[in-house]
Amino acid sequence: MSSADQWKSVEKKQEIFRTKIFAVCSEKFKCLRTDAEIDFITLSSWNWVNVIARTPEGKILLIRQFRPGTMREEVEIPGGCIDPSDPSPEHAAARELLEETGYAGENPRIIGKVTPNPAIQGNICFTVQIDNVKKISEPLLEDTECIETEEVSLDVIREMISSGEIRHGLVLNALCFHLMKID
């Protein structure tokens, strides 16, 4: 019997609180091994995309933006929620890339996916690589976005990872997927 088979839902999932980005939910489960019952609290969220945007010269687009969770500027890659109007993660990645950076490219393809935190979340974060990106417009930032974009070589990115300058877990996952494909 797998560990998943040892749990049974005994009360329907209830939404406790909703925001624009996620909902907090509670669902009561029973452990069949011990008969213990527990309310599991989870976050219900959209699926996400992270974008590895490669220039013709092989540089990767990085973005810098303030993040309230850490109360500091974080070094990341473009990305965001997959909207219901997006027909695919690849489409969402191209849209987010254009909106956040003003860059567009070709051949968007999924190179990896992760579950951000399966203890409390059920969504998926897709890593999409887009090649030959070039700036074609100014970014189309939301009113609450302040983003700086830079083109960075892989050698510099490796140094930024080693020094801890890049420390966002999902960004590190995406860069790992990319580095596994090219090294």
CA angle 68/70/73 to nearest 5° reads 80
Describe the crossing of helices 154-163 and 169-182 by its angle, rounded to 10 degrees. 140
In DSSP notation, 70-85 reads TTEEEEE-SEEE--TT
CATH architecture for residues 48-182: Alpha-Beta Complex (3.90)
Rg for the chain, CA atoms, rounded: 19
Q: Is the pLDDT confidence value at 123 over 90?
A: yes
Residues forming CATH 3.90.79.10 domain(s) in the chain: 48-182
**Residue range 73-88: mean pLDDT, rounded:** 97
Summarised one tens digit per residue, pLDDT across range 130-145 is 999 999 999 999 898 9
Of 129, 149, 135, 154, the C-alpha closest to 58 is 154
Closest CA to 50 of 125, 119, 118, 139: 125
> Token digits for 153?
């070589």
Q: Report the alpha-carbon distance of residue 161 to residue 175 in Å, rounded.
A: 10
pLDDT of residue 3: 86
Q: The pTM is what?
A: 0.93
Edge-first strand order for the sheet with 48-53 is 79-81, 48-53, 125-135, 103-114
Residue with tokens 């933006």: 65
Q: What is the pLDDT of residue 183?
A: 42
